[in-house]
């Protein structure tokens, strides 16, 4: 197993919803970009929800999030993991999500991207979280049991009021 470390949050004073993954993939960490694996469906889902063209570069993806008041981070700050599999995550240390939310009180909902993010989040923060949170199916292409269309519908319901 290899020790890996998450990226810094993408958030600003206009953010209304915080999307939390478990830990970026190996490709994402190499690029220092959230959802940097081209097979991950995250950016397709976000573009569809907000009826936006697919951005040509990462800087434009970050701008798209800001425009639509969406923030990104991960539940885990660091962990041991084999390749990019959430199933192999061990020895996790958690990001300080409560402090982030205190600094950005305009965030009114958390969206948990995938089962591992949900399990980790609820284990540590579920009992103390003062704002609502909702689980959505993982945007990973490894989550093939649910179609892209179904993912978009579920994600849209989770963040439908954000604009």
**Do the beta carbons of residue 17 and residue 162 sit within 8 Å?**
yes
**Do the beta carbons of residue 69 and residue 54 sit within 8 Å?**
no
- Considering 40, 68, 95, 113, which one is annotated as catalytic? 40
End-to-end distance of the chain based on CA atoms, in angstroms?
Answer: 40
- Residue 37 a catalytic site member: no
The Cα–Cα gap between 30 and 12 comes to 24
Q: Which residue has the tokens 């993982």?
A: 138
Q: What is the dihedral of CA 78, 121, 116, 132, to 10 degrees?
A: -140
**Do the beta carbons of residue 112 and residue 49 sit within 8 Å?**
no
Using a 10 angstrom Cβ sphere, with 0-12 exposed, 13-18 middle and 19 or more buried, the burial of residue 144 is: exposed
Q: Which two tokens stand for residue 88?
A: 């192999």
Residues designated catalytic:
40
């Amino acid at each position: 197993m290899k020790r890996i470390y998450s990226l810094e949050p993408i958030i600003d004073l206009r953010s209304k919803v915080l999307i939390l993954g478990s830990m970026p993939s190996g490709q994402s960490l190499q690029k220092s970009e959230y959802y940097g694996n081209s097979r991950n469906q995250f950016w397709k889902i976000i573009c569809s929800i907000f009826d936006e063209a697919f951005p040509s570069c990462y800087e434009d993806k970050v701008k798209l999030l800001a425009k639509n008041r969406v923030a990104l981070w991960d539940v885990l700050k660091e962990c041991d993991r084999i390749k990019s599999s959430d199933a192999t995550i061990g020895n996790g240390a958690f990001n300080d999500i409560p402090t982030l939310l205190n600094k950005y009180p305009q965030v009114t909902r958390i969206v948990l991207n995938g089962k591992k993010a949900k399990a980790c989040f609820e284990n540590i923060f579920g009992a103390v979280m003062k704002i609502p949170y909702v689980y959505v199916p993982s945007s990973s292409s490894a989550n093939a049991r649910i179609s892209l269309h179904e993912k978009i519908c579920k994600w849209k319901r989770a963040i439908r009021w954000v604009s």
